[in-house]
Structures are given as C-alpha cells and as structure tokens.
Chain A
C-alpha cells in the first residue's frame, strides 16, 4: 500500500529523512515512532503530498507520487483518511457537517451523504451528537469526530498523526481499538505515535525513526 524507496527530505540543509526504505502491505496496521523531530510528521506529509521528497520515490496504492502534478493532489488525498492530533475540526460547522465534508467535496448528494455520515458517527459511538457544535464535546469525543470524518469516505488507507496525543490512557486505548476495528475490515492503517507504553501492548508492526533514519528491527518491515 505504501512504499518508500531511498527517500530523503532536506529542509534548509537539515536532514528530516535520510534514505528511508519501508513497505506497508495492503491491510497492514503499523506504528511509526520516534522522538519529536525524528521525521514522523515529514514521512506522513510525504504520503499526503503536503511535501515532496528531495530524492527517492514514494508509492501509494501503486501510484508513484512523483508523477502526480498539483491538480492531481486532491484526488490522491481523497483516497486517504487523515486523523490529526489536534483533530482539525471546524468549530462553526456542526458535527454532522464536519463529518460530511469529505463527501461534500466528492459531490455526494444529501441522501447518500446523510446515510454515510450516520454510519460513520455510529461507528465512533457519537450518533446522538450530530447536531451539536464540536466545541461542546470533550477532547476524546472531538478526536472520534475527526476519525469519523477520516473514515466516512471509506478510504483504503488511514493515516493518523499522534491521534492520542492529548488523551488519557483509557481514551487512548479506546481510540486504538477503533483503528484496529477498521484494520480488521481491510483498511491499511499507519499511526504516528510516541506513546510507547500503548504501542508495546498492541500486536502491530513498529517503524522506528531516529534522526531521519529507520532504526527498528528488520522484522518490522515484514512483507
């Protein structure tokens, strides 16, 4: 699903990623760990085409991202469900409209969109909050709204950037269980997290980044 081949990224002569290689098979779930500044965000940004690599090749869903031009970026991003640490919800939208945003962009009509939004909210257990503003929800609930928005499009790939960063351990475990559920129905999941305690308890591959290089054991990159 995701392939990095000799990928490097430099910001003003500072190396963010150095000759990175890894593969994530379709249907896999993996964690991306490392200290802050180790290159986790950069790696996710390269997958989202928020950044371009300085050298090397990034392949997502059999598509070499280097071949996509500016106008093809939106279609690429629509294939990926993205979850943020600060959830990036729009506070002047209702919960329903926040979740419906990716569908609206893809041109769904109201009936299809409503059905899918409610299915996604049901999955994260917040079906009864659809009319509220995200502002009145707790941070755990806000994060689940962000997840509902990421899955409403039924993407084949979910990327999450520190999704449990602001949450207590119980809530974090809940969120991880959600990701595991999506993974069980065949969605590829890549989660950047420095919550090592939580990661250790979960049976998923770990990609460890250290100063822009992958330093984890080779078993991590299982095929």
Chain B
C-alpha cells in the first residue's frame, strides 16, 4: 500500500517498528476489547439476544445429552438381557443340573442358574397372588428353567440371538425365550429420537445464524454514520467488519455460558425422578451434566455459529452503506 511508503521514518530510538503480525495481533486485541465495552452500552438488549441464542442452543444440546446417555443405558440393558431356557418336562432335576453346568461352561455364557419346576411354582405363587387357584391344581404346570446371562460381548444383541438359536437346537430344551423385541423397540426409539434431535439441532442452528445476522444488521444500521466516516477516511472492509465479528463472538460466548447454566439446572431438576425411573428397572443409570468435552463443544459450536452468522450478514450490509 502506497500509504505506508509515504509514512515518514519514525524516531527509531523511541519506538521499534512493528512487524505485520504484531500489528495484526494488536489491532485484533484492541477491537476485541472495544467490542467488549460496547456490549455493556446496551446490556438489556444484548441480554435478550443472548437468552434467545442460549435457548436455541440449550434445547438441542439437552436432547443430545439425554440421547447419548440413553444409548449408553440401551447398551447396558442389552448386555444384561437374560435368556430363559425351558427344559422339556421329561428332564429330571439331576439331569437339569447337569445341563445347567454344561451351558454354564460355554464361553459365551457368563452365568447359568437352574430353577426347578417346584421352585418356579413357589416363586410364581409368591409373586402372582393366585395361591387358591394354584393349590387346586394336581400337577405342576411349570417347567424347570435355566436362566442364562450371556457373556458381555461387543456384538451385543446379535451374539445373544446366535446363542439363543444354538440353544434351540438342543433336544432337552423345549423353548428358548429372549426378550429381543423389547430391545429392538428401544433401539428403534433411540434411532428415531436421534434423527429428530439432529433435525432439531440443524433448524435451531439456522435460527442462531438468523438471530445473530439480524442483531448485526441492526447494529450496523445504528452505526451507519460512523461507518460512512470510516469509509471516507479510507477504512478497509476488513477493518469495518472486525468489530461486528467480535460482537458475534462475544454473543456466542455469552449464549454458550447461559445455555450451559440452563443445561446444568435442567439436569439437576430431572436427576431425582430419572433416578427413580431407572431404579424401577433395576438400573443404576443416572443422568449426568455436560462433560468437559461437551462444554467445550458447546462453546465452540455457539461461537462458531455466531461468528458465521455475523460474517454472512456484515459483508452485504456494509456494501449497502456507501458515501454519496
């Protein structure tokens, strides 16, 4: 730029010439600080914007949080699923125990427990409350059962299905029950929720872009005179853009902090009832707040989206303001 060539030499003993990168860093620091102070000139309006952005961020973030932890729960349930093996009525107690021991020694079986027909009847009598009816029966209608806990494998439901298939082929076994349907349903539900959450996140991200874009448009409108003068004294587009991009950055940062607080409050509010719900399914599952990584991702996503929203608007708006 010719301008800098025309600059008279400075007094070298008093100020060292700045390198281009030092200068750029200093300029960015100055704009970051001045745009920070500008935030507090209209704190109420800014707070409203940040809250709007924070809600748009907190909603998909909460769903993603719930989803990722529910998937974890799903895997847990998967792994602890039992297979109920009903033995043929011809098999006696001793033979049943031998079969149980054989099954228990398989590598894909973690634990096999034998429940005799008598024991099953006692259990059923105790839990069903049908004592009178059961007492009137001459025969025990219940078969002996082996409860099998499959070894935890990475294959999950597939491995359980294969094990069940192999068990069905054994002669002594009458019927094999795996509660696979329930697991399939849970998985389908989780898949649906996942897609729903991603679509919602996409829409709300678009919302963040629009909100930041509109805020920046209004800011540019209110600083029109300043922009005109800066253009007339030779301010570049990059120079004019910078304060608005930083304004977007600060909005993103504050929105992320508010969204984080909303999330933590929500998690602590839901914690107790979810704990009870999980306990009713014999699970020790708990809802946890955002991890460190999650928090960092929230801040990055928020700041990134806000700066993007600002930069999409600022160039077009600045071009509309030309000195005439």
B225 neighbours in A (Cβ, 8 Å): 88, 90
In the assembled complex, how far is the CB of residue B317 from the closest CB belonging to chain A, in whole angstroms?
16
Question: In the complex, what distance in Å separates the CA atom of A50 from the CA atom of B229?
Answer: 12
Whole-angstrom CA separation of A149 from B6 in the bound complex: 18
B292-324 CB contact bits vs A (8 Å, 1 = yes)?
A: 000000000000000000000000000000111
Does A76 lie at the interface of the complex (its beta carbon under 8 Å from any beta carbon of B)?
yes
Residues of B within 8 Å of A106, CB to CB, are: 3-4, 234
Q: Given the interface contacts A50-B322, A75-B2, A90-B229, does A105 sit within 8 Å of B235 by beta carbon? A: yes
Verify if B232 is at the interface (C-beta below 8 Å from A): yes
Interface centre among A107, A111, A112, A149 (most CB of B within 10 A): A107
- Contacts of B234 on A, CB cut-off 8 Å? 73-79, 102, 105-106
The answer, yes or no, to whether B18 is at the interface (CB within 8 Å) is: yes
| CB < 8 Å A-B pair total | 69
Decide if A105 touches B324 in the complex (CB within 8 Å). Answer: no
Known: A50-B323, A75-B3, A78-B234. A109 touches B229 (CB 8 A): no
Measured between alpha carbons, how far is A82 from B234 in the docked complex, in Å? Answer: 10
> How many Å from the CB of A52 to the closest CB on chain B?
12
The yes or no answer to B236 lying at the interface (CB within 8 A) is yes
Any chain B CB within 8 A of the CB of A129? no
User: Does chain A have a CB within 8 A of B103?
Assistant: no
A88-B229, A90-B229, A107-B27 known; A79+B6 contact, CB < 8 A: yes
Least CB distance from B10 to A in Å reads 7
| B-facing residues in A25-60 (Cβ within 8 Å) | 48, 50
- Taking CB atoms, residues of chain B closer than 8 Å to A50 are 232, 322-324
A125 to chain B, nearest CB (A): 22
Q: How far is the CA of A156 from the CA of B237 in the complex (A)?
A: 24
Q: In the bound complex, how far is the Cα of B26 from the Cα of A74, in angstroms?
A: 21
Least CB distance from B315 to A in Å reads 12
Tell me the nearest residue of chain A to B8, going by C-beta.
A154
Q: Does A71 contact B (CB under 8 A)?
A: yes
Give 1 or 0 for each of B76-105: 1 = CB within 8 Å of chain A CB. 000000000000000000000000000000
Interface centre among B1, B27, B237 (most CB of A within 10 A): B1
Instruction: Report the Cα distance A105→B238, complex, angstroms.
Output: 10
Complex Cα distance A105/B235, Å? 5
Contact A74 B6 (CB under 8 A): no
A221 CB within 8 Å of chain B? no
Of B4, B6, B232, the contact of A48 (CB 8 Å cutoff): B232
Bound CA span A149–B230, Å: 12
> In residues 231-270 of chain B, which contact A (Cβ within 8 Å)?
231-237, 239
Q: Is B191 interfacial (CB 8 A cutoff)?
A: no
A112 to B18 CA separation, bound complex (whole angstroms): 12
**Most chain B C-beta atoms within 10 Å of own C-beta, residue among A74, A82, A90, A105:** A74
* Chain B residues within an 8 Å CB radius of A90: 225-226, 229
B323 touches A74 (CB 8 A): no
Residue of B18, B23, B226, B233 near A149 (CB, 8 A) is: B233
Q: Which residues of B contact A82 (CB under 8 A)?
A: 232-233
B:33-63 near A, CB below 8 Å: none
- How far is B225's CA from A88's CA once the two chains are assembled, in angstroms? 8
Contact yes or no, A109 B15, CB < 8 A: yes
Residues of B95-127 at the interface with A, using a CB-CB cut-off of 8 Å, are none
> With A105-B234, A107-B27, A154-B8 known to touch, is A79 a contact of B229 (CB < 8 Å)?
no
For the complex with contacts A78-B233, A82-B233, 9 further pairs of A-B residues with Cβ separation under 8 Å are A50-B322, A71-B237, A74-B237, A77-B231, A77-B232, A79-B2, A88-B225, A102-B233, A156-B6
Residues on B facing A (Cβ under 8 Å)? 1-4, 6, 8, 10, 15, 18, 23, 26-27, 225-226, 228-237, 239, 322-324
User: What is A's interface to B at a CB cutoff of 8 Å?
Assistant: 48, 50, 71, 73-79, 82, 88, 90, 101-102, 105-107, 109, 111-112, 149, 154, 156
